[in-house]
């Protein structure tokens, strides 16, 4: 989320990572941390584990957060198979009819979330003029919406005027919403794609840090591929 969000709470990690791991960073990147790359973020995660005793909830091991050895879970699901796992959980719990309730509210839910995210983004637009151009702002905002799967295919940002209000922009974006609860699933290609550009030594370090999670969820470790 930190790669598309306008929340500078996330950007503080970008400032640290860029300062430590980017060669010849721009003053703008050092000041805001808004353009942190995926590799820089992963390097910061490794650095944090190796050099800090502070617990960071955003990337703490699931094993340490959920304590599966102490809690007898009935179901352990995966984001890659969210739709199948959620249906199984509802059926196992005897409330399979909840899926029908969700499908009835899909349209309202997706549009309300797009509107909320757009209003929140536009509240910060003026303050971010020194960081993003109008086109960069819209591109990042639409990317954020797509990342949450409220919109599958990004629209042409040229359709949104630079003078458009938050509500006008939201109304246009809502027309292109396509969130479907029953099909909310991340493919293996999508989930593995960003890692293809990550250096092998960094992947090895991450594997060691999260080895318990790999084993718990049945993922292949880097040294097993």
The predicted structure's pLDDT at residue 205: 92
Q: What percent of the chain has pLDDT over 70?
A: 81
Asked, for residue 189, whether it belongs to a domain, the answer is no
Q: Are both 65 and 126 inside the same structural domain?
A: no
Please give the radius of gyration of the chain, using alpha carbons only, rounded to the nearest integer.
20
Residue 113: which of 137, 153, 149 has the closest Cα? 149
What is the tally of structural domains in the chain? 2
Tell me the pLDDT band of 3, cut-offs 50, 70 and 90.
low
Q: What is the pTM of this model?
A: 0.73
Task: Report pLDDT digits (tens) over 27-77.
Answer: 999 999 999 999 999 999 999 989 988 878 888 888 888 888 888 888 888
**Measured CA angle at 210 (ends 208, 211), to 5 deg:** 65
Q: Are both 146 and 213 inside the same structural domain?
A: no
Asked, for residue 3, whether it belongs to a domain, the answer is no
Residue 60: which of 182, 171, 213 has the closest Cα? 213
**Domain range for residue 107?**
80-183
**C-beta of residue 43 within 8 angstroms of C-beta of residue 21:** yes
């Amino acid at each position: 989320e930190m790669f598309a969000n306008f929340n500078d709470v996330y950007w503080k990690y970008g400032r640290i990572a860029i300062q430590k791991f980017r060669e010849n960073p721009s003053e703008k990147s050092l000041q805001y941390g808004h353009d942190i790359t995926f590799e820089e973020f992963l390097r910061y995660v490794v650095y944090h584990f190796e050099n800090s005793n502070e617990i960071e909830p955003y990337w703490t091991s699931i094993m340490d957060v959920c304590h599966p050895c102490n809690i007898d879970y009935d179901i352990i699901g995966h984001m890659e198979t969210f739709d199948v796992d959620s249906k199984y959980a509802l059926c196992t719990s005897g409330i399979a009819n909840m899926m029908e309730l969700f499908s009835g509210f899909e349209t309202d839910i997706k549009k309300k979330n797009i509107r909320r995210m757009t209003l929140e983004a536009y509240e910060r637009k003026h303050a971010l003029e020194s960081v993003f151009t109008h086109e960069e702002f819209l591109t990042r905002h639409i990317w954020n919406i797509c990342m949450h799967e409220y919109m599958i295919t990004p629209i042409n940002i040229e359709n949104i005027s630079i003078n458009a209000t938050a509500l006008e922009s939201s109304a246009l974006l809502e027309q292109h919403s396509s969130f479907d609860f029953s099909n909310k699933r991340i493919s293996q290609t999508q989930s593995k794609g960003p890692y293809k550009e990550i250096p092998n030594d960094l992947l090895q370090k991450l594997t060691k840090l999260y080895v318990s999670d790999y084993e718990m969820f049945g993922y292949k470790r880097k040294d097993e591929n």
